[in-house]
Structure 1
Amino acid sequence: MRRIVTIACAIMLAVALSVPAFAGQVVLKLGHIAEPVHPYGQGAEKFAELVKEKSGGDIVVKVFPSSQLGGQKDLIEGLIFGTVDMALVGTAVLGQFQPQISIFDLPFLFQDRAHAYRSLDSVGMDLGKALEPKGIKLLGYMENGIRHLTNNVREVKTPADMKGLKIRVMTNKIFIAMMKSLGASPTPMAFGELYSAMQQGTVDGQENPSAHIWTKRFFEVQKYASLTAHAYSPEPLVMSMMSWSRLTPEQQQILKDAAREAIDWQRKLSADKDAEYWKLIAETGKIKITEVDRNVFMEATRPVYEEFAPIVGQDNIDKINALRK
């Protein structure tokens, strides 16, 4: 990973002064892994619509959903090398390129959504600046949602019930440590492989927001859902620095303005849809949904903070805690 970033930085340095500006209409490719109906899939389309409107059609954003341009790691590497213009990716994967941004993957970090938004729009944007020398421009954070646990072995009410469960996680050290602290056996796996892995029993379960559980139809291959709300997942809207540097200052401002407006719109949509998705999931009758005492899960994951505070920065954790109300 370090080698990829080092090579990319060298390439960027070599071409920074020679990259020509976009000629004529600007067409930007934006990739993500969600279904088009997912709230951040809709957020991507809203962003494209706003960019077209604000630029008078001079800038066109073409959205490629459902991993059409690759998985999240592929998308990030595409940004670095300039083969992908824009992407929506999780902090869990982006953190492989900027470790401090993994702070947003810590368990039970936020008091509520409002606290998450305040933190992302301040601390999060500051942390994003460190991505620029690595070839990535952060425009802001959309929302993936609040993560919950599902499995097809047993009802989970406490961490003790998770003992031995094979739970799919992203390739992210914090999520791996989190699942270990809860007694599960974390199994890193690409998102696109997850449905079949649960169907075939390669893994027992997974953890994701309701939007993915519904739109990816995970409820079809899972018997139990536990409302652990163990983590909040933002979805950064990022751009290749190579593509960004080819825009005029006026065009860059259009993208910034459209991103801010689209992010506000998408966050509201995501929050509104959350309860609706759980209602739809429950109505299928295919999965039992269980309320849990989140405090016992919170207590079990405290060691994760001790392990990762030196990496994400205790000062950054303190800044986020100071934004609680």
Structure 2
Amino acid sequence: MRRLFAVICALVLIAAMSVPAFAGKVVLKLGHIAEPVHPYGQGAEKFAEIVKEKSGGEIIVKVFPSSQLGGQKDLIEGLIFGTVDMALVGTAVLGQFQPQISIFDMPFLFQDREHAYKSLDTVGMDLGKALEPKGIKLLGYMENGIRHLTNNVREVKTPADMDGLKIRVMTNKIYIEMMKSLGASPTPMAFGELYSAMQQGTVDGQENPSAHIWTKRFFEVQKFASKTAHSYAPEPLVMSMISWARLNPAQKKIIKESAKEAIDWQRKFSTQKDDEYWTLIEGTGKIKITEVDREKFAEATKPVYEKFANVVGQDNIDKINALKK
């Protein structure tokens, strides 16, 4: 499979180098899986707005939210083959194509949001360069948010309370191992299937930022929320190398500058909305919210670092730790 993927990447790169430039108005399709009101859904719209303004209407970004262009893996494959121009996708899925970028899925990696932003804008951008030979251009990192746990069985205050809980995770080895280290039973599942799976009891719970808990209405089918803040979830803004190659230098400059402006705006917006979402979730009266001792959870997940340090690069972990205050 790896050899086949390498051959496909080589063919895609050859195609990217030979594609004709866009003629006239440029229309780019940008897909993501979130609801339009989600902070990174709003970030996508802001990016489209800035691009249109900077280009004088020469470049139009059409945003397709709510998995209209497929799930995250579909979006990434679309980027590689040029059927999707741009996307917002999680590092958990992007890591299947560039394993070291999965470092940002490691538990309790960041001190705070500021530390996360510093790490993403330096170490993260360096790691993104390895995606280019595979057909993907990294433009920067918006954010999904800080991930927390919900479930339908019992209040979770300590890792011991997670014993045996069936928790939906992304199809990502780090998240699977993280849940195992906490005593839960990880259940990989597509995001689009999650609400009904919790409603029907196929899984006991899930882990996601407050934005998804609110906008996807997970609070309707969950009884308990624990503010574990076990990982920070960036949302890379990526582009097909085939589409990138079709832009002229001036258009590329507009896309890069617009991405930076939109990312700065989106991070501030997401931070503001995070507190608002928790207030709204609590206000429903449908779900009990519990503060936890995060140190106990961090200690329990240390085996994840022992297992994946070689995959994500111990040197990358050290670089990120060096950026702490």
TM over 0.5: yes
User: Where in structure 2 are the equivalents of 1:111-260 lying within 5 Å?
Assistant: 111-260=111-260
Q: After superposing the two structures, state which structure 1 stretch, 5-14 or 225-234, moved more.
A: 5-14
Identify the residue that residue 97 of structure 1 maps to in structure 2: 97
2:29 alignment counterpart: 29
Query: What CA distance in whole angstroms lies between the structure 2 residues aligned with 1:161 and 1:95?
Result: 30
CA separation in 2, counterparts of 1:252 and 1:98? 23
Matched, 1:321 2:300: no
Question: What does residue 286 of structure 1 align with?
Answer: 286
Mapped to 1, the partners of 2:169 and 2:301 lie a distance apart of 16
Structure 1 residues 4 and 51: alpha-carbon distance in aligned structure 2, compared to 1, 3 A threshold: farther
Secondary structure, in 3 states, of the residue corresponding to 1:282?
helix
Letter in 1 for 2:68: Q
Alpha-carbon distance between aligned partners in 2 of 1:54 and 1:66, rounded to the nearest angstrom: 27
Unpaired runs of at least 5, structure 2: none
Q: C-alpha root-mean-square deviation of aligned residues, in Å?
A: 0.9
Q: Deviations over 1:269-305 (max 9, x none)?
A: 0000101000000000000000000000000000000
Q: Distance in 2 between matches of 1:241 and 1:67?
A: 21
Write out per-residue CA displacement over residues 110-164 of structure 1, whole angstroms, 9 at most, x where no aligned residue: 0000000000000000000000000000000000000000000000000000000
Counterpart of 1:99, as a letter, is: P
Q: How many Å separate the matches in 1 of 2:7 and 2:65?
A: 28
For the Cα contact (< 8 Å) 2:149–2:208, is it kept in 1? yes
Helix, strand or coil at the partner of 1:235: strand
For the residue of structure 2 that corresponds to 1:16, the secondary structure is helix
Distance in 2 (alpha carbons) for counterparts of 1:244 and 1:43 = 20
Cα shift at 1:4: 6.1
State, as a whole percentage, how many aligned pairs show the same letter: 85
Find the counterpart in structure 2 of residue 277 from structure 1. 277
More divergent stretch after superposition (11-20 vs 211-220):
11-20
Evaluate the alpha carbon distance shift between residue 17 and residue 289 of structure 1 in structure 2; reply closer, same or farther with a 3 A threshold: closer
Taking the aligned partners of 1:322 and 1:242, their CA distance within structure 2 comes to 36
Match of 1:69? 69
Deviation at 1:169, TM superposition (A): 0.2
Is the CA contact 2:13–2:134 (under 8 Å) kept in the aligned structure 1? no
Segments of 5+ residues of structure 1 without an aligned counterpart are none
- Kept after mapping to 2: 8 A contact 1:8/1:135: no
Alignment-mate amino acid for residue 120 of structure 1 = L
CA contact (8 A) 1:5 1:97 kept: no
Deviation at 1:13, TM superposition (A): 3.5
Whole-angstrom CA distance in 2 between matches of 1:122 and 1:178: 25
Report SS of the residue matched to 2:69: coil
Q: Which amino acid aligns with 1:115?
A: H
Check 1:271–1:4 CA distance in 2 against 1; reply closer, same or farther (3 A cut). farther
User: Which stretch of the first structure deviates more once superposed, 196-205 or 8-17?
Assistant: 8-17
**Are 1:8 and 1:81, in contact at CA under 8 Å, matched by a contact in 2?**
no
The TM-score, its normalising length taken from structure 2, stands at: 0.99
Give the Cα separation in 1 of the matches to 2:147 and 2:114.
16
- Quote the residue 1:14 is aligned against: 14
Residues 138, 239 of structure 1: 8 Å contact kept: yes
How many angstroms apart in 1 are the aligned matches of 2:7 and 2:30?
Answer: 23
Displacement over 4 Å in runs of 4+: none
- Give the drift of 1:12: 1.9
C-alpha separation between the residues in 1 aligned to 2:137 and 2:17? Answer: 17
Superposed displacement of residue 3, structure 1? 5.5
